[in-house]
Amino acid sequence: MLRNGVDDAAQRESLIEQIRAKGVRDERVLDAIRQTPRHLFVPESHRQYAYLDHALPIGEGQTISQPSLVAQMTQILELTGNENVLEIGTGSGYQTAILRRLSMRLTTIERFPRLTLQAYRNLQSLNLPPITFVMGDGTCGFPPYAPYDCILVTAGAPPKIPQPLLDQLSPNGGKLLLPLGSREYQLLTRVTKHGTRIRAKTFGECMFVPLIGKYGWQPDEVEPWRRQSR
């Protein structure tokens, strides 16, 4: 379809060049971006901006992440296609689609039921293999399918890593990638687990909406209107 006089595929190629310029070289990741029409995940009101490298609003005060960040995070996970993956923060389902193309099994958790439903609808037309959708608090992980080879958190966590996520990570090199820090800025951090040994590596600053839950930020710390109503 033509948008701003340029078709979606051409806009996607230009986006891929911008993502490449930001250091993403994994061709499998770039290919997953190429195959995933981002405009399907963006509300009608913002569709004209779907192929700009920007985060965009998706309702409930949440955002679809910046595509270059989605690509960078996916590259950091080094997926080979055989992994059991848990995503926390389904949002629009865009990152979900990318992860599903590159893994064996995917479970995704979202705290807003309306976003889960919308993400489910967004993903339906893509004919991807099955995805497990969970509505609830992702800071508690999802024990039924643990251990996970990879856990990706797409919302900003406070400096202390949620313990259930560490517990549900595979001891055979399982990787947990999450933004850790303050409410405003976080450091993208990858934690790797070998046996009981945990190693952390950081990948620069980022800005995400807060991870709200039992092992994340408390609602009244990040949603001021709750404080007033107490």
The residues annotated with a catalytic role in the active site are 65
Shorter beta-carbon distance to ligand SAM: residue 93 or 174: 93
For the beta carbon of residue 54, count every other beta carbon within 10 angstroms.
Answer: 14
Interacting stretch for ligand SAM, rule CB under 6 A, among 19-27, 133-141, 169-177, 193-201? 133-141
Is the CB of residue 62 less than 8 Å from the CB of residue 123? Answer: no
Integer Cα distance of 97 and 53 in angstroms = 17
Cis peptide before 57 (omega within 30 of 0): no
CA distances from 4 to 43, 120, 221 (A): 16, 28, 41
Is the CB of residue 64 less than 8 Å from the CB of residue 19? Answer: no
Answer for which of 19, 24, 42, 137 binds ligand SAM (CB under 6 A) is 137
| 3-state SS, residue 3 | strand
Decide if residue 92 touches ligand SAM (CB under 6 A).
yes
List binders of ligand SAM among 150-179 (CB under 6 A): 154-155
Shorter beta-carbon distance to ligand SAM: residue 71 or 191: 71
Q: Locate 158 and state its tokens.
A: 């406070």
Is the CB of residue 147 less than 8 Å from the CB of residue 86? Answer: no
Amino acid at 191: V
List binders of ligand SAM among 194-213 (CB under 6 A): 208-209, 211-213
Site string for ligand SAM, 34-73 (x = CB under 6 A): ----------------------------xxxx----x---
Nearest to 109 by CA among 94, 92, 132, 88: 88
Shorter beta-carbon distance to ligand SAM: residue 5 or 44: 44
Q: Write down the least CB distance from residue 76 to ligand SAM, Å.
A: 14
Number of shown-chain residues binding ligand SAM (CB under 6 A): 27
Decide if residue 216 touches ligand SAM (CB under 6 A).
yes
Q: Which residues bind ligand SAM (CB under 6 A)?
A: 62-65, 70, 88-89, 91-92, 94-95, 109-112, 115, 137-139, 154-155, 208-209, 211-213, 216
